[in-house]
């Protein structure tokens, strides 16, 4: 095993900055070391088998859920080549699935990974509110699953129009991939489940993202300042167990995401490990966790993979 001390000694670097995370993994591989302490747990995903830990795509697209500056920080780091390095390091740790939204960057990254002879499953989102050709572009990347964007489902539910999403879900079904339904609110997931909709999996946010000003005023005496992206970023501790209860009620597999409350419960590796342990102990054995990673300053990929191997 390559420790940080051995890595520094091997490379002769006294201080490692932005690349310590990915370098640790690659040095281990270059020296013939085993980058995995034990096999990554696997779960069924329709006809596929995928790693129980899925790499989230928010960081690669700059969706920091923090601030405009943090978003720019992530975008500057995650070039196409750096995204390829990131996914190769994920593969080295047994993570074989990436949840990423279609963009030219996503397309280029997926093609480079495959041109290099490696396999990375892709699960993507779609919405009837996106450009008309976006679903077709996503399908060109051969995803194993496509789900209705949770923001779209949340808004339709709030407007009393969620049933209109069934036509779009049928459109996804016609493509032959696994059909998913995303939401940031447990009542939205429960609505689709109670109605018996033709869905293969759920994308379940463990925290409620995108509260309206009216919803904020039900909690606070006034609306705070925010970054202006999709509604107020206000995450309450009670939301995680509430969504986990819903996950256990539904029969279909769930991909739990936003475990760290948009970057608010990951201050230390110990806290992250505790969150992953807690969530894996709450959800069903056949469910997965989607974790966004930013391994610019520490080896988050291996740390998270080790946690899932230990607790999952």
Q: Over the stretch 257-274, which tens digit does the pLDDT of each residue have?
A: 999 998 889 999 999 999
The owner of tokens 């936003």 is: 258
pLDDT band for position 224 (cuts 50, 70, 90): confident
- Asked if 136 and 116 sit in the same domain, the reply is yes
Share of the chain above pLDDT 70, in %: 85
Angstrom distance (rounded) from CA 8 to CA 90: 22
Token readout for 201 is: 């999996």
**pLDDT tens by residue, 44-54:** 999 999 999 99
Q: Report the pLDDT value the prediction gives residue 227, as an integer from 0 to 100.
A: 62
Angstrom distance (rounded) from CA 300 to CA 227: 26
**pLDDT tens by residue, 287-297:** 999 999 999 99
- Asked if 43 and 28 sit in the same domain, the reply is no
Q: Report the pLDDT value the prediction gives residue 64, as an integer from 0 to 100.
A: 63
- Asked if 118 and 265 sit in the same domain, the reply is yes
Among 126, 12, 107, 2, which Cα is nearest to 60's?
Answer: 107
- Asked if 243 and 96 sit in the same domain, the reply is yes
Mean pLDDT of 59-65: 71
**pLDDT tens by residue, 70-114:** 778 888 888 999 999 999 999 999 999 999 999 999 999 999 999
Tell me the HSE value of 32 on the side-chain side, using a 13 A CA sphere.
Answer: 0
CATH code of 145's domain: 3.20.20.60
Mean pLDDT of 203-215: 88
Token readout for 190 is: 């429960």
- Asked if 19 and 126 sit in the same domain, the reply is no
- Asked if 133 and 208 sit in the same domain, the reply is yes
- Asked if 228 and 153 sit in the same domain, the reply is yes
Give the residue numbers spanning the domain of 22. 1-35
Q: Report the pLDDT value the prediction gives residue 223, as an integer from 0 to 100.
A: 84
The owner of tokens 């167990």 is: 241
- Asked if 88 and 237 sit in the same domain, the reply is yes
What is the overall mean pLDDT for the chain? 87
φ, ψ for residue 202, nearest 5 deg: -115, 140
Claim: this prediction has a pTM higher than 0.75: yes
> How many domains does the structure of the chain reveal?
2
First to last CA, the chain: 22
- Asked if 23 and 170 sit in the same domain, the reply is no
The owner of tokens 């009670």 is: 238
pLDDT band for position 214 (cuts 50, 70, 90): confident
Mean pLDDT of 190-196: 97
- Asked if 209 and 296 sit in the same domain, the reply is yes
Q: Report the pLDDT value the prediction gives residue 71, as an integer from 0 to 100.
A: 77
pLDDT band for position 216 (cuts 50, 70, 90): confident
- Asked if 24 and 117 sit in the same domain, the reply is no
Mean pLDDT of 166-173: 97
Mean pLDDT of 220-242: 80
Instruction: Name which residue leads in pLDDT, 4 or 55.
Output: 55
- Asked if 23 and 50 sit in the same domain, the reply is no
């Amino acid at each position: 095993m390559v420790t940080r001390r051995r890595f520094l000694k091997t490379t002769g670097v006294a201080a490692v900055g932005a690349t310590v995370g990915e370098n640790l993994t690659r040095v281990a591989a270059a020296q013939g070391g085993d980058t995995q302490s034990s096999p990554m747990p696997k779960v069924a995903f329709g006809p596929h088998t995928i790693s129980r830990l899925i790499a989230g795509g928010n960081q690669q697209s700059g969706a920091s859920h923090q601030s405009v500056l943090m978003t720019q920080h992530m975008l500057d780091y995650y070039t196409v080549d750096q995204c390829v390095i990131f996914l190769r390091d994920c593969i080295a740790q047994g993570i074989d699935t990436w949840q990423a939204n279609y963009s030219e960057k996503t397309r280029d990254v997926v093609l480079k990974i495959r041109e290099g002879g490696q396999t990375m499953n892709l699960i993507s989102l779609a919405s009837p509110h996106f450009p008309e050709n976006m679903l077709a572009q996503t399908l060109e990347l051969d995803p194993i699953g496509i789900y209705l964007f949770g923001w779209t489902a949340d808004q339709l539910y709030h407007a009393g129009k969620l049933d209109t999403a069934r036509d779009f879900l049928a459109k996804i079904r016609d493509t032959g991939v696994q059909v998913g339904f995303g939401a940031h609110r447990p009542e939205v997931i429960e609505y689709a489940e109670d109605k018996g909709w033709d869905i293969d999996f759920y994308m379940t946010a463990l925290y409620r993202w995108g509260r309206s000003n009216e919803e904020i005023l039900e909690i606070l005496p006034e609306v705070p300042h925010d970054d202006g992206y999709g509604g107020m970023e206000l995450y309450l501790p009670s939301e995680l167990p509430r969504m986990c209860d819903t996950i256990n009620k539904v029969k279909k597999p769930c991909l739990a995401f936003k475990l760290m409350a948009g970057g608010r419960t990951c201050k230390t590796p110990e806290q992250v490990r505790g969150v992953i342990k807690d969530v894996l102990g709450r959800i069903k054995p056949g469910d997965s966790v989607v974790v966004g990673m930013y391994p610019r300053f520490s080896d988050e990929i291996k740390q998270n993979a080790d946690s899932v191997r230990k607790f999952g």
